[in-house]
Structure 1
Amino acid sequence: MGKNILVLTGSPRQGGNSDMLADAFIKGARAGGHTVAKFATAAKKIGGCRACEACWSKNTACSIQDDFAELEPLLESAATLVLASPLYWFGVSSHLKAAIDKFYAYTRPGCKRPLKIKESLLLICGADEGLGVFTGAIETYKGIVDYMKWQDKGILAVPSVSAKGAIVHTEALKQAEKLGAEI
């Protein structure tokens, strides 16, 4: 039986390198019999957590109304979460980070609809050479996985891709598709 997978993307550049990584993963996962939803955080208006402590007070995870409300049902039905982002200043994009910050509601007492997520993956790419620049993003991801008690199913970090489409000249798309097929 296939898994219900949610792929959250963070790139404001539609069809860019991290978006292509996400699509390759999705192709592999669907070929493996899984159900996959893709949610582009950069195409939405999602503000970060304001620490107002009003989670669930309006029967939604976040009481501040924005496009996170569109993400909630996808997030709440997913068994696997994939985070796909370009590397921005040693972390994921602010678009993706704002959505992740709102996961806070699901860790609070009184959470009305607990997450079913059991496993996750990180797909990330950047223009800089070498893998060292990904340390901040990877360690943050590992911290999230540990805190949420998810199982890490893989990290694919791809350096040296800047121009839109540059990722096609690497093995990364094949690797992402393989991760999807094997999830």
Structure 2
Amino acid sequence: MLNIMVLTGSPHKRGTTAQLADSFCRGAAEAGHTIERFDAAQLQVHRCTGCGKCSGGKELCIFQDDMEKIYSGLKKADLIVFVTPLYYHTMTAYLKTVIDRFYAVNSRIKGGKGALLIAAAAASESWNFDALKAWFQTELRYLSWKNFGMICAEGCAVPADLKQTSYPEQAWEKGHMLPESIEISS
């Protein structure tokens, strides 16, 4: 079974993406996977300053904060799930701050993992997700992680909007239908 790390980026504990993350986690747990969830907006994570002291994972980051918990989970995770509302066509600053700090463990997280993107936006035009989708594809390529797909919930500004869609079921199904292990082809 998979070790799954869920990283959420919303400051709203009961918001739209929190509900999508809950649906995904419920499906994955029912399938027997182990889930560790981190809500970036509730953590104390210093922004990366680009000081270079970590040398891309060869040394420790100079900041000792809640990233230590994330680093531990990230190293053992088989699958990383990024969950974010769309803020001005991309992820929230909370989630971006955490991802920027991945650099300090770069050499230890490249390859052998998978990733999934779950996002929601008030906008109902799919092109609003283009920048976020491009980032996701680039991140996967850079880290040599396998793509486990994307759920982009259009027209979902508030949790009540989800009730009119199949997005919660899609998130549950993604979690429930995950394989028992990650097969990485060379």
Fold shared by both chains (TM-score > 0.5): yes
Check 1:32–1:163 CA distance in 2 against 1; reply closer, same or farther (3 A cut).
same
Q: 1:56 offset after TM fit, Å? A: 7.2
1:144 is aligned with what amino acid? Answer: E
Q: 1:137 aligns with which of 127, 132, 135?
A: 132
CA RMSD for the aligned pairs? Answer: 1.8
Is 1:36 paired with 2:35?
yes
- Contact 1:80 1:117 (C-alpha < 8 Å) held by counterparts: no
Alignment identity in percent?
A: 30
In 1, distance between residues paired with 2:59 and 2:67?
Answer: 10
Any unmatched runs of 5+ in structure 1? none
- Contact 1:16 1:165 (C-alpha < 8 Å) held by counterparts: no
Check 1:31–1:138 CA distance in 2 against 1; reply closer, same or farther (3 A cut).
same
Check 1:8–1:90 CA distance in 2 against 1; reply closer, same or farther (3 A cut).
same
Q: Which residue of 2 aligns with 1:83?
A: 82
Secondary structure in 2 matching 1:157 = strand
In 2, distance between residues paired with 1:106 and 1:60?
Answer: 8
Secondary structure in 2 matching 1:75 = helix
1:26-175 paired onto structure 2 within 5 Å: 26-55=25-54, 61-107=60-106, 111=107, 114-115=108-109, 118-175=113-170
1:104 is aligned with what amino acid? Answer: Y
In the alignment of these two chains, the number of paired residues is 176
2:127 is aligned with what amino acid? Answer: G
In 2, distance between residues paired with 1:45 and 1:34?
Answer: 27
Q: Per-residue displacement from partner, 1:88-133 (whole Å, max 9, x unpaired)?
A: 01111100000000111222xxx5xx12751000000011111110
Q: 1:60 offset after TM fit, Å? A: 7.0
Task: Flag as ranges the 4+ runs of structure 1 deviating above 4 A.
Answer: none
Tell me the TM-score normalised to structure 1 length: 0.90
Any unmatched runs of 5+ in structure 2? 179-186
